[in-house]
Amino acid sequence: MKTLVTGATGFIGTALLSRLLQEGLSVRAASRRDVVTLPLGAERVVVGDLSGNTDWRHALANVETVVHLSARVHMMRDAAADPLSEYRQANVEGTRNIAQQLASAGGRRFVFLSSIKVNGEAGVFRESDAPKPRDPYGVTKHEAEACLRKIAAETGLEVVIIRPPLVYGPGVGANFGSLMRAVAFGVPLPLGAVHNRRSMVALDNLVDFILACIKHPAAANETFLVSDDEDLSTTDLIRRVARAMGRPARLVPVPSTFLFGAAALLGKREIARRLLGSLQADISKARQVLGWHPRISVDEGLRAAVALVGSSGKSH
């Protein structure tokens, strides 16, 4: 029987495919278009865009487990006329559709990559906390989770929900990539006096955790938070990124209250919240139920992440 990975050509999907193949699993990779080279040994199936109408019958043939990574991801500036509707079509209806088809095809387990944003935007979170999503991405991930639990109850499909915080590793983009480039360029950063605490998860650790959720019997019908189990302030993160690069950390100690105020004036509240606010994931449940511990340390994860960023700040 096969494991199907959706979103297989993305940042997380490519790393997961390689690990599953290393573990000797028979893997099928679902992609929207036939344009990306896959790791040797992975079978490809092209399914088109993710929606409630996607036909998964060919992709799900002889599939026991689906790892569903494909989604409409969080965007800082969403140009869609109705962002929530667009998110729902992919993240809710698309997820419901593939899970229902897997159950109908006799599949056993559906591993769903959700998000810590289901819990909220700030605080110390556990799986048992009441969800408080604030943006369309978080709202639709929460709605997708509810759909999956309903399908599990009605069909017996085993559902495993994973809520990661920020994921970093080789090839990471977005704000984390920008931060690494700033350090590589030696840009002075006004973040030398930030005393927040934020959870992150290295790509290797997330992939290792997904593998545990594929294999472990006790993962069935559970929700898990995952992280590196070492929360950092933004100031400490920048210092460690610089150390991983062998570069100096050019930090200017500016009070967080001033930075929040300046960000509000510039319309950058979202970026400021991520850099200055606290968000922590308690992974006690993952340790207790699955016996899982992070495979690598934060510093190891950062060394892997910066390996593709040269001293010019460009990716290789």
Residue in 110, 125, 137, 176 annotated catalytic: 137
Residues contacting 9, CB < 8 A, separation 6+: 29, 31, 36, 38
Question: How far apart are the C-alpha atoms of 14 and 32, rounded to whole Å?
Answer: 14
| Cα–Cα distance, 71 to 62 (Å, whole number) | 23
Q: How far is CA 85 from the centre of its chain?
A: 21
Q: Among residues 225, 261, 238, 115, which one has the least CA distance to residue 176?
A: 238
Active site (annotated) includes residue 137: yes
Active site residues: 137
